[in-house]
Structure 1
Amino acid sequence: MDWSKIIQDIQNIGMTQKEIAEFCNCSQGTISQIKNRYGKKDNAQISVSYEIGTALKNLHDTRVLEK
């Protein structure tokens, strides 16, 4: 799963990282870390918890894919 792209897609519809974080019940900093570090070859991948991953996927599916 490309979490960075999912977060970018959500931001492209107008949600801020803070709003995404509130939906996922985590901090804005966590969303920023996931977006900026996940999948980059020169950085260690960070682990995305099941809860955050599920919330991000649900948010993406209901807000981005429905448009």
Structure 2
Amino acid sequence: MMTPLELNRLGYRALMDALGFDGMMRFLQQFEPGQGDYTAERQQCLQNVSLDDIFAEIEHHRDSP
């Protein structure tokens, strides 16, 4: 059984081999914790948006080329 350090090294090596250094870094950046409170911000942004608004926006994008 591998130690956590050995597993990390092997995992990083596999990512680097498959994606290259830049690709590995871009992949790993996806998992960094963000900032703020997404739920509170989302509720604030959507507090005045109705389902009719959402459906109208969907239709607008469907009709756009």
TM-score calculated relative to the size of structure 2: 0.27
Q: Which has the higher contact order (CA 8 A, sep 6+)?
A: 1
Q: Which has the larger radius of gyration?
A: 2
